Structure 1
């Protein structure tokens, strides 16, 4: 099996989800024989969280590049950045090392293409929902995306940054997400992409009116494919 590196801490709650998902899937796919060979660098979210200016994002890129290089030097053969929003600096990170970095939106887009799902609403932080760098990755895989509703963006930013990033799960927030997804269904959109790795904490991905594509789960599974040699 190949050793996989995780850049985590963005937040640590989603990193825990990645660690558990990857190990459970490796265990399942090896008939209960093996655990996943992983290297994890858990960053301090306070050092990179809620970047807004170009200067902020340059700093984020520097932090993630340094982390990627340490993981490569430690023996990782590929990397996952365990956060959707941090993929804004994906190109800079990928260019800084010789090993592959598996893009979260490509993993989701490939899964949706395989499922023949061609329309979706994207839910996440403001830079994921409203900026082109993430949306274009999904569109490249043949997915048509519902335009971002700013009222939803504001609600999701509050839930993600004020609650989920601190491990807080509120029933009101669960109901708010259910309402958003129900409204999306009424617009004849065929699926929802959870473009924040913490959103599965408040969205039941198995019990909704629409198919839910959980980016964290799909990204982790792409990491499992790499570990087991099923990905190039």
Structure 2
């Protein structure tokens, strides 16, 4: 063994972003270790249609059971730590962690570290309605990193959520939706946001730094890079 830890990826939520995780992780390992190097990893990939239906039905207990099963399968397969390739399902991070003996690399932590490292205090959060409207994500950033996390107004939250579930998870990237997101970002900046968190792993498919007047924090990339750091540590 060469000392590289095995990453256990829980993906398929959606596979569009999970594919970017896989690419980013392997590109980074290759850049750090040489042209033929790649990551040692396992992936459990869900059928997102089933996950999405349970989310919108509010059946979080059933979702916790599914995450636990995935985590246990990766543990049996030899994973050394887990990466849950989605922001929304971190609502159940505690339940997943309790089900396995492996550490979970929480997506909010590398994001918070990057924001603090940039010297920012107030940030705007884009994500699914579940992520924007519940405390599991914002609360971790506020409590662990001392950040002030703002979310868009009600109409803007509905727009951001709709584009994620009706377009991005289906691989559709539309110019009109990009412009709509730019306008949401601009309103957050007008309200004092010093940075913008792309707090859904699909949003990076639609907007990036060029679409924002303030620094953008892409949770997909930050999480993937943190996974490589841990695997190669």
TM-score (norm 2): 0.94
Match of 1:47 in 2: 50
* Structure-2 separation of matches of 1:153 and 1:189: 16
What does 1:67-216 align with in structure 2 at a 5 Å threshold? 67-140=70-143, 141-206=145-210, 208-216=212-220
Tell me if the contact between 2:152 and 2:184 (Cα under 8 Å) persists in the aligned partners.
no
Deviations 1:111-164 (A, max 9, x none): 212222211000000110011111101112121112441111100111000000
Unpaired runs of 5+ residues, structure 1, are none
* Structure-1 separation of matches of 2:57 and 2:50: 14
Structure (1/2) with the larger helix percentage:
2
Match of 1:225 in 2: 229
Assess, with a 3 A threshold, how the Cα gap between structure 1 residues 228 and 206 changes in structure 2: closer, same or farther. Answer: farther
Assess, with a 3 A threshold, how the Cα gap between structure 1 residues 171 and 206 changes in structure 2: closer, same or farther. Answer: closer
SS at match of 1:189: coil
Aligned length: 228
Moved more, 10-19 or 174-183: 174-183
Query: C-alpha root-mean-square deviation of aligned residues, in Å?
Result: 1.3
